[in-house]
């Protein structure tokens, strides 16, 4: 994690996948929108979050917001605290302090399964799938207690996002390419429609052509009303996708603002990735 920028080939691939100026993102089929759109709800609000790993605090009282229907990116170098933040929000590790609000309920201290039931789905870093199970079985496990008809409908819905998985439903997930495994991991998170989707390192280990195919999928997910929190190593990809951006550095937020401002003022990113002394945070109150 923590790469400041992509090479020319990677940039070309992402730019090719992004809608042109004045054009709309690809529209989701009506059936997918009806079956898979998130239920109406408020923002995910994280306040005063403190995360401790071992005996060391690695996240120091940050606050941020993820809005339904929008893509929010969190950037920062290796060791900034991004993955620890994901673990705190998703219930993988209990925060030492702070609040994780969704629908007026503080989810701090709830386990990962309950947080998922409340509507926060997480795609961990590294294309994590059940390697010994088939693709269909991976989706079935993600469906939990869904009835057979509900699971069939949900499977059809995620296959509309990832059509190449349909011919691989009987294949072991461990035999898939890294890109296909990432598709399965995202599909698992979408089987039970989430309100908030957290993706830790979307492009990790993937070829630019695979990333290009994932970009419109993430846009479609947000267009269906899901709030997306994207933790991403490649700033060019994150800025192409995101409406709002946070930058973490040394466990604190150093930027809170529009993606367009970062594109216009790259020195803000440079300071976050290559800090010299303590700089004043930008856009934080």
**Could you tell me the CATH number of the domain that includes residue 234?**
3.40.50.300
CB 204 within 8 A of CB 145: no
d(CA 187, CA 180): 10
Domain assignment present for residue 186? The answer is no
Tokens of 174: 């461990």
What is the pTM (predicted TM-score) of this model?
Answer: 0.83
* pLDDT tens figures, 188-233: 999 999 999 999 999 888 888 888 899 999 999 999 999 999 998 7
Domain assignment present for residue 148? The answer is no
pLDDT band for position 34 (cuts 50, 70, 90)? very low
Domain assignment present for residue 184? The answer is no
Domain assignment present for residue 189? The answer is no
Domain assignment present for residue 21? The answer is no
pLDDT band for position 37 (cuts 50, 70, 90)? very low
Higher pLDDT, 69 or 39: 69
Domain assignment present for residue 165? The answer is no
Contacts of 147 (CB under 8 A, 6+ apart): none
Q: Tell me the chain's radius of gyration from C-alpha atoms.
A: 18
Helix (H, G, I), strand (E, B) or coil at 173: helix
* pLDDT tens figures, 171-181: 999 999 999 99
- The whole-number average pLDDT for the span 146-169 is 95
Helix (H, G, I), strand (E, B) or coil at 57: strand
Helix (H, G, I), strand (E, B) or coil at 109: coil
* pLDDT tens figures, 100-130: 999 889 999 999 999 999 999 999 988 889 9
Domain assignment present for residue 35? The answer is yes
The domain total for the chain is 1
Percentage of residues in the chain having pLDDT higher than 90: 67
Domain range for residue 228?
Answer: 8-16+29-126+195-273
Characterize the bridge pairing of strands 252-258 and 44-53. Answer: unpaired
* pLDDT tens figures, 128-141: 899 999 999 999 99
Residue 79, classified by CB atoms within 10 Å of its CB into exposed (0-12), middle (13-18) or buried (19+), is middle
Contacts of 89 (CB under 8 A, 6+ apart): 44, 46, 49, 100, 115, 120, 122, 198, 229
Tokens of 118: 């409340």
* pLDDT tens figures, 181-197: 999 999 999 999 999 99
Residue 270 pLDDT greater than 60, yes or no: yes
The pLDDT score that the predictor gives to residue 127 is 86
Residue 77 pLDDT greater than 80, yes or no: yes
Domain assignment present for residue 176? The answer is no
* pLDDT tens figures, 39-51: 445 899 999 999 9
Higher pLDDT, 94 or 5: 94
> For residue 73, what are the CA distances in angstroms to 22, 60, 243?
22, 19, 8
């Amino acid at each position: 994690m923590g790469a400041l920028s992509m090479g020319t080939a990677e940039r070309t691939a992402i730019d090719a996948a992004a809608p042109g100026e004045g054009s709309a993102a690809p529209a989701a089929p009506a059936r997918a929108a009806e079956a898979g759109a998130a239920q109406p709800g408020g923002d995910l609000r994280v306040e005063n979050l403190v995360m401790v790993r071992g005996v060391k605090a690695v996240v120091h009282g940050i606050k941020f917001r993820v809005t339904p229907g929008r893509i929010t990116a969190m950037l920062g170098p290796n060791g900034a605290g991004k993955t620890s933040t994901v673990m705190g929000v998703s219930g993988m590790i209990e925060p030492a302090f702070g609040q994780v609000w969704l629908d007026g309920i503080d989810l701090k201290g709830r386990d990962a399964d309950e947080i998922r039931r409340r509507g926060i789905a997480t795609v961990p870093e590294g294309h994590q799938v059940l390697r010994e199970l088939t693709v269909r079985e991976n989706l079935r496990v993600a469906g939990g207690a869904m009835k057979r008809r509900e699971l069939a409908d949900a499977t059809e819905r995620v296959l509309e996002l990832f059509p190449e998985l349909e011919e691989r439903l009987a294949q072991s997930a461990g035999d898939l390419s890294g890109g296909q495994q990432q598709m399965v991991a995202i599909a698992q998170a979408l089987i039970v429609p989430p309100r908030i989707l957290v993706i830790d390192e979307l492009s990790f280990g993937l070829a630019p052509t695979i990333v290009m195919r994932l970009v419109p999928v993430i846009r479609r997910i947000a267009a269906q009303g899901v709030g997306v929190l994207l933790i991403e190593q490649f700033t060019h990809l994150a800025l192409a996708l995101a409406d709002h951006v946070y930058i973490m550095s040394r466990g604190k937020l150093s930027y809170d603002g529009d993606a367009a401002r970062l594109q216009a003022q790259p020195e803000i990113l440079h300071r976050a990735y290559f800090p010299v002394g303590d700089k004043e945070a930008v856009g934080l109150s």
